[in-house]
């Protein structure tokens, strides 16, 4: 049966509520993971209302699944890449972005010393591994091409879709020439002397720009503002911890990300964790104009809830 | 009798579709459920647009053709492999027991967990997908063949031995026809396995230069184009039904049924 | 080469179940001359089929079996068995194909020749009209006749027949008995023939043995009645009585 | 005979391990291949650390237990469902032919493509995983049972009819035992299907409150802990081998083998 | 209720293959009185088994079959069939279980009672020592005897026996013939019994019919020989000759 979404009608304990959230794998989700582990959202809710908030966290492996779950009303919110979130909002799934979550480093790495720029790849049969066609990495590739005066889809047929770890394996074993990846894989690959970066991608969209966002259903915002604000604040608190005390934050997430605490700390420092979006609307417009999106995003306000600032 | 069955099948399908349409039209599962249960009309439109518009300027046809090539390749290799291994297993009790262990172990391993090894050995090309299809087909198919061979009535094997059949000639002359109903059952399972293996392989591993149906579905999922996704499933179903009733059923009719080995 | 086409030396056979073992054949010694027609009689369950299966090479056993003086451990086309079971034909082959196939295995490469041989054998068992039937479309007796035809067509050194005529009507049985007599006189085949019918043993056999429960040969005698044997043949009654007594004793 | 087989199996496994170690130690597949082919020693260490350290402070045990619960639930429902449907199919030719269509169609559908419908009906909870396991088991298992029922020699059915067996009593009294070797074969296939279905379901869909082995593998993959991932596969293999030789083989020995229905 | 336990009215049966149809039974009319012992003779492949299968309810056919005056279209426990095939026992049940199971179906609820009945039947066919054997561990004749024991234990209205004694040795056969005679005299069972053995028909039958190829009854006569019948019984020779001639004619 359906989980009762943010259900406050219960007569016995009027302030008790339930929240269904989903996130994905990796340190891009660190603020959400910290909020989950430290139960920030529950605590804030309790302080504000005196009620108990129960959160059901799910870990899904793609934004598409989170979109589906929200569309069917089974999730109240979640965290996903900017691209699927933009798709979801413009598709009318009934949610908007309630916060920026993180920006991360991306980069196009190659093992082929004869290649020095993405222009060298065009027209070749060199393969580029990235997570999926239509993924944020694909869009970043297209954007880098576009920004450098090429057709945004010039390298589409060079793409092979596979998960980051498989792409890393493929790149290092020479099975593909290039790998467009994000943190933390990009950090590891950058330490490999046999590989070098084609910088167009990281130049055109940096770690400062919106990568992962939090989304919340309109229904939640409308019917349960207390839960919504606890959610916003709890996530903010997660980001604050990373920004103020990265060592403690790393201590919380290190094990989950499978890293040593020192390494985790270093990685976290390379990410940008802020609630403010950056170049989100530009990304959406680019997606629409280059066929990654069916519907016109129209305006920034159309994508985010009023409490979100940025562009 | 046969006509009755066909009518029953058609009625059954119509009922299923009617239920779908009812749920869709009445928003029975929430206000936004038309995204998840698009009306049949929308699905039919998506069906057409899959073939006319397609994705990234490529018609679904191309995806289907690409996939069918890989599917067939994997299926054929998987089936042949299963036959060769099961055949070897009839030669000696020890081989059979090793092979049984092999199936029991490898059939459990998720393809995605083998991906690193596969990529290193095969590189990044469509062979990886073929390999994953083989991995989906080989073990259950071998299981069916092996168990079918084990269940061959002793008297047929003895009658075969008696007229000098040994090894390969015994396998082809006795084990194979005598276990035909297992083999067909295995073939049906293998065929379905191959499809599902293919699609999940193409989902975790998509080659843009040779885009397949799994990539297409993934794409439609990513873009929340559920109508198009269901329309793609319908294509899979149509191919499946053609194979079932155009290939497998006639084989069945001309073997097990004709030979009185099945009711 | 010796005069024996089959020599069995201290053959014993036991089946092992979970807990106990049951001895079916106990120290059988038997030598069968070339062209001999050996009938085996004995009560139900005494081990006749088991003995035939040992000779055919289907069963593990102790002791040695020599066919034409060479030790025999595996099945082979020199000893063709007509099983007691009705379902011995390959259900995936028609009646004709069931006979053609072993002929091909035997090395007769001309299709026309194979067909001729097979059709002749089928006409001997009166099933010419049924050559394109599948086994499941035949009656019990018809299946047995196809199996007999198969064995006859192959002309092996030794034919092992396990109650082949049990499911046949009197007339067909009589005809096939005559056929067997002709074959045993004209061909060089050695025939080992299990039957429950004492009269049949006397008509066909040149030698009759009675196996007793527990797996020993209780009677082994030449059949000295002159062929063709009828109930009126001289010595028939005495021979019949001897066999019958042995069988009754053996239960 | 049996002892020989066990020795052969052990030798076979040792050979496979030796090949792995050789490839790993000699970096046969590129300088960094030790990441993909970690040495056996590393895998054994990872095996231990999986259980002591685990992931997210939770030992692999917990993941395994969670998964086994869902697996069993899905397996049992899938098997029962397959029996009920196949049983119904014995009642009438029309039902059988509808059911055949149903299997041919649904067995082709990738679980991930059904996810929207499943989520809207079941919500986001472990039932979704159970459902995906059922979807993996039900169709191939039904196929085996149905084909097994079809292959039951007519004479047993008639002998059953003759003593008044009908419908359920006929299914239980004749179809079921007479097709036992198909059923066991189907069970083996179903068991493997269930595992693979479970793991891929848990990979696309992990419930934080009930984390399973698929989530664990995904995590190890994401974190590039290949040694831990292989060590997890070894756990799966051990469970599989225990079930094969501790459950399925004894069943086989006490049915088909004992009854002389298998060589 | 009429005096007939079985009435067959214009029964015809044909098998349809891809192209042709073959008529096996042609317009059979036959009424069998309660407690009658009807023996059916006829050449191999003439349709004896098919007739029994129609009566048992296993075959679609035209015409009507009434058992105790009610129209019969499906199999039932009132007509128990002993098949011609050796593999009619459930391989997953032991010898004893193969007999106990139908008894349970028949509604005999006391386990002890069922066991007693089953063991008595087994002792009649001389297989008391084999009750825990599985069918695949039995010889051909032993399997048939278990099937016979099963039918006897069930005491149905009509017993349909398809060459039940064909695989038995002379002595066992004789004993079981006596058993059948006793049953037909003491119980109210109607027995329909296919055999190729004319002597057996004369010993057992109260009425003998001969079916001819093509599916018509060519001879249908009361057996007026006084029981127990031996070859020396008055009229035996003439009756034997009549049956034999009919069979020879019918091929
Ligand atoms: N697998 C087995 N396990 C145990 N005992 C067996 C097995 N197979 C056969 N037997 C026993 O072997 C004995 C001889 O069987 P066999 O088939 O040789 O008899 P037979 O002389 O041919 O009898 P019939 O005339 O009834 O065909 C029987 O008592 C039977 O129970
Ligand atoms: N499925 C079938 N298709 C076509 N013909 C069949 C089929 N089944 C049986 N027949 C034919 O029916 C005829 C009668 O068979 P049936 O088994 O009744 O003979 P029978 O009198 O019992 O012979 P027998 O004494 O050899 O057992 C045979 O000629 C056989 O070929
Ligand atoms: Mg025998
Ligand atoms: Mg018959």
Q: Which ligand is nearest to the CA of E143?
A: 1
Mean pLDDT of D60-80: 94
Model confidence pLDDT, tens digit, residues E9-65 = 999 999 887 677 788 999 999 999 998 999 999 999 999 999 999 999 999 999 999
Backbone phi and psi for residue B50, each to the nearest 5 degrees, phi listed first: -55, -40
What is residue D225's predicted lDDT score, i.e. its pLDDT?
Answer: 84
* Mean pLDDT across chain B: 90
Q: Residue D32: which pLDDT band, with cuts at 50, 70 and 90?
A: low
What is the spatial distance between Cα B165 and Cα C57, in angstroms, rounded to a whole number?
13
Mean pLDDT of E159-170: 92
**Cα-based distances in Å from A309 to A58, A274, D173:** 27, 11, 72
Nearest-neighbour CA in chain A from B118: distance (Å): 10
Model confidence pLDDT, tens digit, residues B102-154 = 999 999 998 888 888 888 888 888 999 999 999 999 999 999 999 999 999 99
What is residue A62's predicted lDDT score, i.e. its pLDDT?
Answer: 83
Q: Residue E191's CB: how many other CB atoms inside 10 A?
A: 24
Nearest-neighbour CA in chain B from D244: distance (Å): 7
What is the spatial distance between Cα C49 and Cα C192, in angstroms, rounded to a whole number?
11
Mean pLDDT of A168-175: 88
Contact present, A242 and A268 (Cβ < 8 Å): yes
Strands B205-207 and C4-16, sheet pairing = unpaired
* Mean pLDDT across chain D: 89
Contact present, E133 and E172 (Cβ < 8 Å): no
**For residue A10, is pLDDT > 70?**
no
Strands E62-67 and E4-16, sheet pairing = antiparallel
Query: DSSP character for E44?
Result: T
What is residue C96's predicted lDDT score, i.e. its pLDDT?
Answer: 96
Distance of CA C23 to the CA centre of its chain: 23
Describe chain D by its helix, strand, coil percentages, rounded to 5: 80, 0, 15
Any idea how long chain E is? 251
Best residue among C40, C47, C251 to mutate for probing ligand 1, ranked by most atoms within 8 Å of CB: C47
Question: E with A: 3 or more CB pairs under 8 Å?
Answer: no
What is residue A12's predicted lDDT score, i.e. its pLDDT?
Answer: 46
Chains contacting chain D through 3 or more C-beta pairs under 8 A: A, B, E
What is residue A8's predicted lDDT score, i.e. its pLDDT?
Answer: 45
**b/e map B82-105, b = 16+ CB within 10 Å:** bbebbbebbeeebbbbbbbbbbbb
**Cα-based distances in Å from A202 to A102, A103, B48, C4, D188:** 16, 12, 40, 94, 50
Domain ranges of chain E: 4-78+157-250, 89-155
What is the spatial distance between Cα A242 and Cα A235, in angstroms, rounded to a whole number?
11
What is residue B223's predicted lDDT score, i.e. its pLDDT?
Answer: 84
Residues from chain A that touch D223, judged by Cβ atoms under 8 A, are: 257-259
**b/e map A2-34, b = 16+ CB within 10 Å:** bbebbebeeeeeebbbbbbbbbbbbbbbbbbbb
**Cα-based distances in Å from A6 to A17, A33, C29, C65:** 5, 20, 91, 86
What is residue A14's predicted lDDT score, i.e. its pLDDT?
Answer: 56
Q: Number of Cβ pairs closer than 8 Å across B and C?
A: 61
Q: Which has the minimum average pLDDT: A32-41, C65-74, D173-182, D203-212?
A: D203-212
Tokens standing for residue A242: 């990373």
Strand order, beta sheet including A178-182: A196-198, A106-110, A178-182, A128-130, A159-162, B205-207
Q: Which residues of chain C have pLDDT under 50?
A: none
Mean pLDDT of E90-114: 94
Contact present, B185 and D144 (Cβ < 8 Å): yes
User: Bridge partners of A197?
Assistant: A109
Q: Return the CATH fold of D51-257.
A: MetI-like fold (1.10.3720)
Q: Does B222 touch chain D (CB under 8 A)?
A: no
What is residue B119's predicted lDDT score, i.e. its pLDDT?
Answer: 86
**For residue A172, is pLDDT > 50?**
yes
ipTM score here? 0.91
**Cα-based distances in Å from D125 to A24, A59, B38, D248:** 16, 11, 24, 31
Contact present, C58 and B156 (Cβ < 8 Å): no
User: Which of E139, E169, E194 to substitute to test the interface with C, most C CBs within 10 Å?
Assistant: E169
Tokens standing for residue D127: 């039932």
Nearest to A121 by CA among A96, A153, A86, A74: A153
Strands E21-33 and E4-16, sheet pairing = antiparallel
What is the spatial distance between Cα E243 and Cα E42, in angstroms, rounded to a whole number?
9
Query: Is the four-CA dihedral D237, D239, D240, D246 of positive or negative sign?
Result: positive
Contact present, C170 and E48 (Cβ < 8 Å): no
**Cα-based distances in Å from C3 to C7, C66, C67:** 10, 12, 11
Domain ranges of chain B: 1-37, 51-257
Nearest atom within ligand 2 for CA of residue B260: 1
According to CATH, what is the number of the domain E4-78+157-250?
3.40.50.300
3-state DSSP assignment of residue C21: strand
Nearest-neighbour CA in chain B from D209: distance (Å): 23
What is the spatial distance between Cα B13 and Cα A116, in angstroms, rounded to a whole number?
58
Tokens standing for residue C218: 């209780």
Q: Which ligand is nearest to the CA of E196?
A: 2
Contact present, C160 and C192 (Cβ < 8 Å): yes
Strand order, beta sheet including C70-71: C21-33, C4-16, C62-67, C70-71
Q: Where are the beta strands (DSSP E) in chain A?
A: 17-23, 53-60, 77-81, 95-102, 106-110, 128-130, 159-162, 178-182, 196-198, 212-217
**For residue D263, is pLDDT > 80?**
no
What is residue C251's predicted lDDT score, i.e. its pLDDT?
Answer: 66
Question: A with D: 3 or more CB pairs under 8 Å?
Answer: yes
Q: Residue D176: which pLDDT band, with cuts at 50, 70 and 90?
A: very high
Q: Residue D48's CB: how many other CB atoms inside 10 A?
A: 11
**For residue D55, is pLDDT > 90?**
no
What is residue E251's predicted lDDT score, i.e. its pLDDT?
Answer: 66
What is the spatial distance between Cα E248 and Cα C94, in angstroms, rounded to a whole number?
28
What is the spatial distance between Cα D130 and Cα D215, in angstroms, rounded to a whole number?
15
What is the spatial distance between Cα A192 and Cα A175, in angstroms, rounded to a whole number?
16
Contact present, E195 and E225 (Cβ < 8 Å): no
Nearest atom within ligand 1 for CA of residue E169: 25
- CA dihedral of residues D179, D183, D186, D192 (deg, nearest 10): -160
Helix axes B180-204, B111-122, angle to 10 degrees: 80
Model confidence pLDDT, tens digit, residues B7-63 = 988 999 999 999 999 888 888 777 777 788 899 999 999 999 989 888 878 899 999
What is residue A288's predicted lDDT score, i.e. its pLDDT?
Answer: 93
User: Which of D110, D233, D239, D255 to substitute to test the interface with B, most B CBs within 10 Å?
Assistant: D110
> Is residue C132 packed enough to be buried (19+ CB in 10 Å), middle (13-18) or exposed (0-12)?
exposed
Q: Which ligand is nearest to the CA of C211?
A: 1
Contact present, A300 and A280 (Cβ < 8 Å): yes
> Is residue D159 packed enough to be buried (19+ CB in 10 Å), middle (13-18) or exposed (0-12)?
buried
Query: Is the four-CA dihedral A160, A162, A166, A167 of positive or negative sign?
Result: positive
What is the spatial distance between Cα B106 and Cα B256, in angstroms, rounded to a whole number?
31
User: Contact E247/C173, CB-based, under 8 Å?
Assistant: no
User: Which of D46, D204, D222 to substitute to test the interface with A, most A CBs within 10 Å?
Assistant: D222
Q: Which has the minimum average pLDDT: B56-60, D15-19, E75-79?
A: B56-60
């Amino acid at each position: 049966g359906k989980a009762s979404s943010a259900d406050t009608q219960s007569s016995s304990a009027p302030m008790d509520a339930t929240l269904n959230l989903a996130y994905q794998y990796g340190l891009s989700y660190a603020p959400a993971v910290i909020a989950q582990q430290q139960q920030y959202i529950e605590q804030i809710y309790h302080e504000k209302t005196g009620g108990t908030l129960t959160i059901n966290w799910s870990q899904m492996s793609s934004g598409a699944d989170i979109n589906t779950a929200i569309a069917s009303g089974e999730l109240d919110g979640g965290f996903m890449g900017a691209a699927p979130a933009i798709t979801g909002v413009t598709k009318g799934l009934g949610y908007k972005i309630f916060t920026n979550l993180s920006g991360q480093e991306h980069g196009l790495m190659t093992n082929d010393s004869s290649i020095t720029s993405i222009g060298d790849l065009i027209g070749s049969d060199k393969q580029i591994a990235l997570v999926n066609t239509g993924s944020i990495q694909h869009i970043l590739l297209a954007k880098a091409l576009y920004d450098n005066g090429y057709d945004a889809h010039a390298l589409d047929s060079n793409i092979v879709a596979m998960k980051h770890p498989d792409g890393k394996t493929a790149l290092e074993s020479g099975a593909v020439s290039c790998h467009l990846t994000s943190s933390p894989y990009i950090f590891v690959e950058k330490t490999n002397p046999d590989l070098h970066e084609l910088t167009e991608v990281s130049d055109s969209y940096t770690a400062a720009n919106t990568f992962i966002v939090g989304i919340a259903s309109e229904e939640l915002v409308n019917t349960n503002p207390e839960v919504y604000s606890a959610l916003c604040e709890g996530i903010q608190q997660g980001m604050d911890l990373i920004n103020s005390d990265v060592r403690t934050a790393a201590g919380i997430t290190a094990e989950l990300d499978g890293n040593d605490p020192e390494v985790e700390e270093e990685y976290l420092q390379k990410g940008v964790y802020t609630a403010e979006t950056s170049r989100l609307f530009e990304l959406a417009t680019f997606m629409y104009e280059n066929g990654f999106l069916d519907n016109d995003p129209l305006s920034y306000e159309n994508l985010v809830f009023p409490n979100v600032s940025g562009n | 009798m046969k006509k009755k069955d066909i009518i029953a099948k058609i009625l059954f399908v119509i009922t299923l579709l009617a239920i779908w349409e009812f749920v869709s039209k009445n928003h029975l599962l929430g206000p936004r459920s038309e995204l998840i249960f698009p009306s049949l009309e929308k699905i039919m439109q998506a069906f057409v647009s899959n073939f006319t518009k397609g994705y990234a300027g490529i018609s679904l046809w191309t995806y289907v053709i690409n996939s069918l090539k890989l599917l067939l390749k994997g299926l054929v290799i998987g089936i042949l492999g299963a036959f060769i291994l099961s055949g070897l297993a009839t030669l000696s009790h020890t081989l059979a027991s090793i092979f049984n262990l092999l199936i029991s172990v490898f059939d459990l391993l998720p393809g995605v967990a083998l991906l690193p090894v596969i990529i290193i050995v095969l590189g990044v090309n469509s062979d990886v997908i073929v390999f994953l299809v083989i991995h989906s087909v080989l073990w259950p198919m071998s299981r069916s063949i092996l168990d079918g061979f084990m269940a061959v009535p002793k008297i047929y094997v003895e009658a075969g031995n008696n007229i000098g059949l040994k090894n390969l000639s015994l396998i082809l002359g006795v084990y194979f026809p005598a276990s035909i109903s297992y083999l067909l059952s295995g073939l049906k399972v293998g065929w379905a396995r191959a499809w599902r293996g293919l699609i999940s392989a193409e989902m975790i591993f998509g080659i843009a230069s040779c885009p397949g149906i799994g990539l297409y579905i993934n794409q439609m999922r990513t873009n929340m184009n559920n109508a198009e996704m269901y329309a793609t499933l319908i294509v899979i179903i149509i191919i499946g039904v053609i194979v079932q009733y155009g290939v497998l059923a006639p084989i069945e009719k001309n073997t097990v049924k004709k030979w009185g080995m099945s009711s | 080469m010796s005069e024996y086409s089959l020599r069995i030396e201290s053959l014993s056979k036991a089946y092992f179940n979970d807990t106990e073992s049951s001895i079916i054949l106990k120290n059988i010694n038997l030598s069968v001359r070339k062209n001999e027609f050996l009938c085996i009689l004995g009560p139900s369950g005494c081990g006749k089929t088991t003995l035939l299966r040992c000779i055919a090479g289907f069963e593990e056993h102790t002791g040695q079996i020599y066919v034409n003086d060479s030790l025999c451990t595996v099945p082979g086309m020199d000893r063709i068995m007509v099983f007691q079971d009705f379902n011995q034909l390959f259900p995936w082959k028609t009646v004709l194909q069931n006979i053609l196939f072993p002929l091909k295995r035997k090395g007769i490469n001309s299709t026309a020749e194979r067909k001729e041989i097979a059709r002749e054998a089928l006409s001997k068992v009166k099933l010419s009209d049924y050559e394109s039937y599948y086994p499941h479309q035949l009656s019990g007796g018809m299946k047995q006749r196809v199996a007999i035809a198969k064995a006859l067509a192959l002309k092996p050194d030794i034919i092992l027949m396990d109650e082949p005529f049990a499911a046949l009507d009197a007339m067909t049985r009589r005809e096939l008995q005559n056929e067997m007599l002709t074959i045993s006189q004209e061909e060089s085949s050695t025939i080992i023939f299990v039957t429950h019918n004492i009269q049949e043993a006397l008509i066909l056999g040149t030698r009759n043995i009675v196996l007793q429960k527990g797996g020993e040969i209780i009677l082994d005698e030449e059949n000295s009645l002159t062929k063709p044997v009828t109930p009126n043949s001289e010595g028939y009654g005495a021979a019949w009585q001897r066999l019958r007594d042995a069988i009754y004793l053996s239960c």
